[in-house]
């Protein structure tokens, strides 16, 4: 069953999960919040499996790498230079 509620965010970025949607969530329990194409997904961290955590870590590293590229902090190599660096270290 789909449950829909309207909530609002405070000036401090806080939201309140409606009482009928937080059944089974304990005070202080950690939650994941994932943003993708304008959608927010909230998931209990305790219910995540190992693959999900590995996916999150990969996403964090990828995001960090893209930021470094956008900031011009990465070097570029030709294919020949890249292969040489792979072989020679």
Domain tally for the chain?
A: 2
CATH number at residue 24: 2.10.260
pLDDT score of 82 more than 80 = yes
Angular region, 20: left φ>0, alpha ψ -120 to 50, beta rest: alpha
pLDDT score of 12 more than 90 = yes
What average pLDDT does this structure show over 36-62?
Answer: 78
Contact 38, 14 (CB under 8 A): no
9 pLDDT band (50/70/90 cuts)?
Answer: very high
24 and 55 in a single domain? The answer is no
22 and 62 in a single domain? The answer is no
Distance CA(78)–CA(39), nearest Å, equals 38
Q: What is the mean pLDDT of the chain?
A: 84
pLDDT score of 52 more than 80 = no
20 and 61 in a single domain? The answer is no
58 and 81 in a single domain? The answer is yes
64 and 82 in a single domain? The answer is yes
Helix (H) or strand (E) holding 60: helix 50-70
Report the pLDDT value the prediction gives residue 10, as an integer from 0 to 100: 95
pLDDT score of 83 more than 80 = yes
77 and 63 in a single domain? The answer is yes
54 and 34 in a single domain? The answer is no
Domain range spanning residue 85? 49-89
């Amino acid at each position: 069953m789909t449950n829909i509620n309207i909530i609002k965010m405070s000036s401090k970025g806080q939201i309140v999960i409606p009482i009928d949607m937080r059944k089974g969530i304990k005070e202080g329990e950690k939650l994941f919040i994932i943003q993708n194409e304008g959608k927010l997904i909230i998931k209990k961290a305790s219910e995540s499996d190992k693959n999900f955590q590995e996916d999150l870590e990969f996403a964090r590293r990828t995001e960090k790498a893209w930021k470094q590229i956008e900031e011009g902090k990465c070097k570029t190599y030709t294919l020949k230079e890249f292969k040489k660096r792979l072989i020679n270290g």
